[in-house]
A = this chain, B = another copy of it.
Amino acid sequence: MKARSTSLRGTKKPREASGAEGGTPRSRLPHAERKAQILETAGRFFSEHGLTAQTRALAQECGISQRLLYRFFPTKEDLLAEVYREEILGHFKSVWFVELQDRSRPIEARLNDFYKDYLASVLTRRWLRLFMYASLADARMAPDYIAGVVIQLLELIVQEVAAEQGVDLPDDKDLLHEAAWVLHGAISHYAIRRHLYHAGSTLPEDRVVRMQVRMFIAGFQSYFEAEAEPSG
């Protein structure tokens, strides 16, 4: 079907970007390059079709034979593990920790910028679908990510918000985490709605983030001021 190319193919010249039917080998690539290409394609592929999708379909999407996958990864599980490491853990920017602590700017502006970037860099359709498939399949996937990265983020955020508002925070770590989750969860769920549920609104993302952040800051202040002053 795809061998419909316009003939005149000189002597041996390998054709590019065509299906996998002939016997003619496709363009040869050095090991590292081919592996990177497979991982890139696999990220997209498993994100869309789930971790139970078949290696043959992945190979076809890569434009290579199924056998070739096994020159780079001993088993499908090893391939999945590498995809997970790259796609899930590889999008976090350490600069966020710095920027969120820049007290020369109002916390509202810092949070607006951070979450705008976090939505664009981490909470993408691809990341969310992979993360969800992995979480559903393996109970240990999500906790590692959350414990390793998100918790630090949450602690930093409550600290910065409280500092700007001059409120005293209780010592209960779990309570503080949960308070920061109010914002982080709401924005995460907004991304889930858009990319997984396909039920996003027509509002521009910026506006949603700004509303979320502003409501959070006001709610946070109200809540912890009232907590700190039990007297009516």
Contact = CB atoms under 8 A, between A and B. Distances in A.
A198 B142 contact: yes
Contact of A196 (B135, B177, B203, B219): B135
Contacts of A178: 190, 201, 203, 208, 211
A133 interface: yes
A146 interface: yes
A50 interface: yes
Nearest to A223: B215
Contacts of A196: 132, 135-136, 142
Contacts of A135: 196-197
Contacts of A182: 186, 211-212, 215
Interface string A131-146: 0110111011011001
Contacts of A147: 199
- Interface residues of A: mostly helix, strand, loop or mixed? helix
Interface in A179-212: 179, 181-183, 185-186, 188-190, 192-193, 196-199, 201-203, 208, 211-212
A33 interface: no
Given A136-B132, A223-B211, A223-B218, A199 B146 contact: yes
A129 B217 CA distance: 32
A208 B27 CA distance: 57
A216 interface: yes
Interface in A144-200: 146-147, 174-175, 177-179, 181-183, 185-186, 188-190, 192-193, 196-199
Contacts of A190: 178, 181, 185
Contacts of A146: 193, 197, 199
Contacts of A197: 135, 142-143, 146
A124 B198 CA distance: 22
A177 B52 CA distance: 35
Contacts of A132: 132, 136, 196
